[in-house]
Amino acid sequence: MTLFQRIFIVVSLLFALLLASLDASYVRASRHYLQEQLTSHAQDVATSLGLVLPLSMAGNDRVRMETTVDAVFERGYYRAIRIVGTDGRTLLLRQLPAAPPSVPAWFARAVPLAAPSAQSLITGGWRQLGRVIVTSSPNFAYAQLWNTTRDATTLLLVFYAVALALLGAFLRTILRPLREIEAVAEDIGERRFTTVRQLPGARELRRVVEAINQLSGKIRDAIGLEIAAAERYRVEAYRDALTGFDNRRSFQHQLENSLQTHGGQSAVLYMVQVEGLDALNAAQGFAAGDALVRALADALRELDPGAQPLRARLGGSTFALLGWQVELDAARRFGQQIDQTVAAVIAHSGAGGVSHGVGAVYVPHSADGVSALLGEADAGVRQALAQTGGHHLVLVQHDPAAQDTAGAGKWREFISGALSAGDIALWQQPVFAFGDGEPRILQREITGSLIDATGEPVPAARFIPMALRFGLMPALDGAFLDAIFRHYAAAGAEASQIAVNLSMQSVHDDALVERLLGQLREQPQLARRMVFEISEFGLAHDLERAADVVARLRAVGSGFAVDNFGFHASAFQYLQQLRPDYIKLASSYLQDLETHAENQFFIASVVRVARPLDILTLACGVESDSRLVLLRNLGVSGYQGYAGARPQRLG
């Protein structure tokens, strides 16, 4: 029961008790007054008759006596009028038949009125002739008392209803700050640090609100500062300071994620290299060389190589651009545009002895990996630099022998066949939480592999690119999820959390999402232990769809986490918006962590941002005890890797 309800009920009951007491007092007073009036009227009529009846009684004029009594009796206010002689005989009697009062019976029982009698002597001179006895009828008094009680009670009830309405409005007004305080407290519990907008008038409440606003604001500002610091460290580690582009390390990481996410789509990678920059620096100074590099970056920033572009300065005067969903002819035309743009920038700078080359690799479907693409692009650049004439573009089509048409078809046939036959193996690897004593299992990540004709498991790294290429990830994820649900339905859900990866192709598949939600509803205990991990790259490129699926997963009790966290520019924005249960740091931040201070600063800042948001920070691929010590000191919540345990087959 809310505070408003409690106060409203108590005050309304007290007010009702007060009004009932007033009403009861009014009824008692009215009854007493009417009872006195009945007695008084009976006495007055008896006295009056005692004064007028002697004449008719002295002359023994019965007609006159009856006429006098009837004139009073016929008005109906009296139940009986009796004239008694000196010998005790009744000389005249007028009496109404017994009749109940014209009011509800319960009212007559609750508020009884007596029928009072009064008498007066009838004298003629000094001689007593008799006496008259008058008994009042309470029926008229009952009617008057009922009418006045009903009217008074109705008025009090109307007043009570109006008072309750005013009380409710008053309580809502004075308790509005408390409701806002409650909402802010709930927001803080949900890791949203809002404030109460309108300060209450009451001094005590105003001070409470000011304290809460100050606390929430300080936490929000502290998180903002940590986000800014983490973003600064990320920029310093993975952003080229001169041009603002990503550096080689960041580009390779994002390119690798892009290949995993968009493996089935066409893409084009351009590499631009300018030669003669050393001579320019020697002749005109480093400022001239830096100015040319910045001008090239500004010009390339204005070009759009395709969907979800990536731009980077790989080092020195070498740039890279990547675009998805590009046709071959469009890729060639855009390469020519890059060639012309770079030539125009060099000409405008007036730098003599500076040349350039553009190498482009067109990827119709998928690629071997980052190294293969960069190697082909670099070879194209060298060929372009060797060309003479006005064009310096070499475009090649990526066609690795290992992934020719026949090979790709075999992979597709193998994946489809394994899924149809149910040749699936599940693997689990524990994730440990840092603690004071023995390592505690925080969760178990469940992954899957396919079984080949020899009965050996095929690692996911080999078939996932082809599954992405042919759009088979929803079928693959669905088969793995079915196997997971079957396993835990038979074995029972574990006490620890269960982590499962979900690809963006699956996130976009409505049929798979509905099937998954249905399975989770059928096994609610397992659903509450499952956490679905989505890669940061896919999440950032379709945040709206991901947020919708995440909300639906949470509605059935499951959790959500971000895998490969830390490279996208909007990482901390969606971190605050989606509030994942945990984040898994990108493996690039853990490579050579002991010697990269900027990565240590970044991880520590991520931890300081995530901790007040109640988000755990996990490290993957941890293989040495020395790195465990460093990660613990940085505040990381848990770790996964060979330093803890190797993957084991499930079931």
3-state secondary structure 610-633: HCCCCCEEEECCCCCHHHHHHHHH
CATH number reported for the structural domain that contains residue 476 in this entry = 3.20.20.450
**What's the rounded Cα separation, in Å, for the pair 616 and 367?**
34
Cα 355-357-358 angle, rounded to 5 deg = 150
Residue 174 lies in a domain: no
Q: What is the arithmetic mean of pLDDT over 101-107?
A: 88
Q: How many domains does the chain contain in total? A: 3
Q: Which residue has the higher pLDDT, 431 or 255?
A: 431
As a whole number of angstroms, the distance between CA 97 and CA 528 comes to 82
Same domain, 382 and 428: no
What average pLDDT does the segment 392-419 reach?
71
User: How many angstroms separate the CA atoms of 426 and 522, rounded?
Assistant: 21
Q: What is the pLDDT of residue 6?
A: 84
| pLDDT tens figures, 327-347 | 888 888 888 899 999 989 988
Per-residue model confidence (pLDDT) at position 403: 44
Q: Are strands 267-275 and 355-363 parallel, antiparallel or unpaired?
A: antiparallel
Q: Which of 4-13, 139-148, 554-563, 617-626 has the highest mean pLDDT?
A: 554-563
What pLDDT does residue 367 have?
53
193 domain-assigned: no
Q: What angle do CA 153, 154, 160 make, to 5 degrees?
A: 85
- Please name the residues in contact with 327: beta carbons below 8 A apart, sequence gap of 6 or more: 266
Distance CA 630, CA 150 (A): 84
Range in 45-59, 204-218, 305-319 the model is least confident about: 204-218
Closest CA to 537 of 507, 510, 557: 507
Give the 3-state secondary structure of residue 587: helix
Residue 208 lies in a domain: no
Write the CATH number for 70: 3.30.450
What are the residues whose beta carbons fall under 8 Å from the beta carbon of 562, sequence distance 6 or more?
533, 534, 535, 536, 539, 574, 575, 578, 580, 582, 583, 584
* 268: Cβ contacts below 8 Å, ≥ 6 apart: 305, 306, 322, 323, 326, 331, 334, 335, 360, 361, 362, 363
Last residue of a domain, one of 383, 403, 423: 403
Predicted local confidence at residue 365, as pLDDT: 65
pLDDT of residue 408: 64
Pick the most confident of 377-386, 458-467, 476-485.
476-485
Q: Which amino acid appears at position 2 of this protein?
A: T
Amino acid 213: pLDDT: 81
Looking at 403, 436, 463, the residue that finishes a domain is: 403
Q: Cα–Cα distance between 53 and 64 in angstroms, integer? A: 9
Based on the domain organization, do 514 and 609 belong to the same domain?
A: yes
Among the ranges given (120-124, 147-151, 359-363, 462-466), the one the predictor scored with the smallest mean pLDDT: 462-466
Indicate whether 404 pLDDT > 50: no
Q: Is pLDDT at 450 greater than 50 in this prediction?
A: yes
The whole-model pTM stands at 0.65
State the residue range of the domain holding 365: 248-403
* Claim to verify: residue 438 and residue 479 sit in the same structural domain: yes
Q: How far apart are CA 382 and CA 272, in angstroms?
A: 10
Within-domain flag for 166: no
| pLDDT above 70 coverage of the chain, percent | 93
Residue 17 has pLDDT above 70, yes or no: yes
Most confident residue range from 89-98, 242-251, 515-524, 589-598: 515-524
Say yes or no: 416 and 548 in one domain: yes
Please check whether residues 365 and 411 belong to one and the same domain.
Answer: no
* pLDDT tens string 482-530: 999 998 887 765 667 899 999 988 999 999 999 999 999 999 999 999 9
Measured at the CA of 238, the angle between CA 234 and CA 243, to 5 degrees, comes to: 115
Same domain, 563 and 446: yes
| β-sheet bridge partners, residue 92 | 83
The pLDDT assigned to 509 comes to 93
- Reading the block at residue 584, the tokens are 């898994």
| Beta bridge partner(s), residue 131 | 84, 121
Structure tokens that stand for 525 in this block: 């205990």
Mean pLDDT throughout 222-244? 78
Report the chain's mean pLDDT, rounded to a whole number: 85
- Any domain includes 635: yes
- pLDDT tier for residue 401 given thresholds of 50, 70 and 90: very low
DSSP 432-460: EEP-SSS-EEEEEEEEEEEE-TTSPEEPH
Helix (H, G, I), strand (E, B) or coil at 271: strand
Spacing of C-alpha 634 from chain mean position: 30
Is 173 inside a domain boundary? no
Amino acid at position 429, single letter: Q
Pairwise CA distance, residues 368 & 402, whole Å: 8
Amino acid at 359: G
SS3 state at 423: coil
The pLDDT score that the predictor gives to residue 545 is 92
The answer to whether residues 387 and 264 belong to one domain is yes
Question: Kind and range of the H or E element at 511?
Answer: helix 510-522
How many whole angstroms separate alpha carbon 308 and alpha carbon 397? 20
Cα Rg for the chain, rounded, in angstroms?
Answer: 48
Residue 371 above 70 pLDDT? no
Would you call 531 helix, strand, or coil by DSSP? strand
Report the pLDDT value the prediction gives residue 571, as an integer from 0 to 100: 74
Higher pLDDT: 349 or 561? It is 561
- Residue closest to 235 by CA, chosen among 593, 617, 563, 605: 605
Beta-bridge partner residues of 428: 446, 648
What does 196-214 look like in DSSP terms, one character per residue? -SS--SSHHHHHHHHHHHH
Check residue 406 and give its pLDDT: 44
Clarify whether residues 343 and 410 are in a common domain. Answer: no
Q: Residue 256 corresponds to which amino acid?
A: E
> Do 384 and 416 belong to one domain?
no
Whether residues 422 and 396 share a domain: the answer is no
Contact 251, 318 (CB under 8 A): no
- Among the listed residues 591, 459, 473, the one whose alpha carbon sits nearest the alpha carbon of residue 535: 473
Evaluate whether residue 317 is within a structural domain.
Answer: yes
Strand locations in 331-392 (E): 355-363
- 600: in domain: yes
Tokens coding 420: 């149809």
Q: Tokens representing 330? A: 């469009």
Tokens of 537: 């790259």
Q: H helices then E strands: how many in the chain?
A: 21, 19
Q: Given the structure tokens 């007004």, which residue do they identify?
A: 173
For 530-550, write each residue's pLDDT tens digit.
999 998 888 877 889 999 999
Task: Tell which phi-psi region holds residue 564, choosing left (phi > 0), alpha (psi between -120 and 50) or beta.
Answer: left
CATH number of 258's domain: 3.30.70.270
How far does Cα 181 stand from its chain's mean position? 17
**Chain centre to alpha carbon of residue 37:** 72
**Are both 497 and 410 inside the same structural domain?**
yes
Give the Cα separation of 68 and 61 in Å (integer).
11
Question: How far, in Å, are 445, 492, 553 from residue 530 at the CA level?
Answer: 10, 13, 10
Q: Which among 125, 156, 187 is the end of a domain?
A: 156
Tokens representing residue 186 in the block: 């709930």
The dihedral through the CA atoms of 540, 545, 548, 550 has a sign that is negative
Residue 368 is predicted with a pLDDT of 55
Least confident of 152-156, 244-248, 252-256, 291-295: 252-256
Torsion of CA 463, 465, 468, 474, to 10 degrees: 30
Question: What sign results for the dihedral spanned by CA atoms 278, 279, 282, 285?
Answer: negative
Same domain, 391 and 520: no
